[in-house]
A and B are shown apart, each in its own frame.
Chain A
């Protein structure tokens, strides 16, 4: 899980062009939107594309999106649960 969180942080930095940010600057428990990284709605779409492109996972509803894209940890948990078996 720790490895996945680290990889995810690197992928988020690349996907969202957060070039002034390093993986260690991202708190995996902090909210990704508004507070925390201060991401916006376009970033949410970009993260949705990232999950589909890199992990083959789709977010099906906006409610699911709110839960999955809450933090790096929640994204990693979503990947771990849905990549099983």
Chain B
């Protein structure tokens, strides 16, 4: 059965800017992603010590989800097993894979770091967000050549149509060195009282993604 869903909110983190629903919330002067991420963490008064242990992909996705969900009380609005996450990027966990490779490339100084190694999969960022916000439903990470709004809308719509989710975070979380871009959307089932910011359609998603 077709179930209507809507874009409730979106958050983008790129070009050293944090934007929530078209409002610029933070602009950082930092040259490196790690410094920028620390700046965002402090600016939004996030308190989550495990953040500092995450890899850069984890930090980027975590911060975008944190800002996207702030004050939304999703945990009480929907059953936990009806909240899902579907993310995409093009370089998977390559940023962290390279860090791991550095720790094993010298046979005379061979000390692979377990804390780095555990992040050598892109879907770990989904786990971090799920743990923080208690999203216990569908979770998937897809590697795509580029941002693909048609795939996103088709996939997420099926989750709603088949009554698998009532609420879903979806979007693009891409990082390679100091080049980073995260655009996350909060998709919720439509109600008569809440209409969201826009219809969940490929053209709308693409249009929001292109607002840089």
A residues at B contact (CB < 8 Å): 15-20, 38, 42-43, 45-46, 49, 52-53
- Residues of B with C-beta under 8 A to A46: 113-115
CA distance A46 to B114 in the complex (A): 6
| 5 further A-B pairs in the complex, CB-CB below 8 A; given A45-B115, A46-B113, A52-B111 | A17-B115, A19-B52, A20-B52, A38-B49, A42-B114
Say yes or no for B118: interface residue by CB 8 A criterion: yes
Please indicate which of the listed interface residues A16, A38, A45, A52 has the most CB atoms of chain B within 10 Å of its own CB: A45
Can you spell out 6 A-B residue pairs with CB atoms less than 8 angstroms apart? A17-B52, A18-B52, A20-B52, A42-B115, A46-B113, A52-B111
Say yes or no for B53: interface residue by CB 8 A criterion: yes
B49-68 with Cβ < 8 A to chain A: 49, 52-53
- Residues of B with C-beta under 8 A to A20: 49, 52
Please indicate which of the listed interface residues A15, A43, A49, A52 has the most CB atoms of chain B within 10 Å of its own CB: A49
Closest chain-A Cβ to B132's Cβ sits at a distance in Å of 15
A43-B115 in contact given A17-B52, A18-B52, A20-B52 (Cβ < 8 Å): yes
Main secondary structure, interface of B, reads: helix
Report, as a range, how many residues of chain B touch the other chain: under 10
Q: Which of A18, A49, A53 contacts B114 (CB 8 A)?
A: A49
Report yes or no: B52 in contact with A53, Cβ–Cβ below 8 A. no
CA distance A43 to B49 in the complex (A): 13
CA distance A66 to B83 in the complex (A): 38
CA distance A49 to B83 in the complex (A): 38
- Residues of B with C-beta under 8 A to A17: 52-53, 115
- Residues of A with C-beta under 8 A to B118: 42
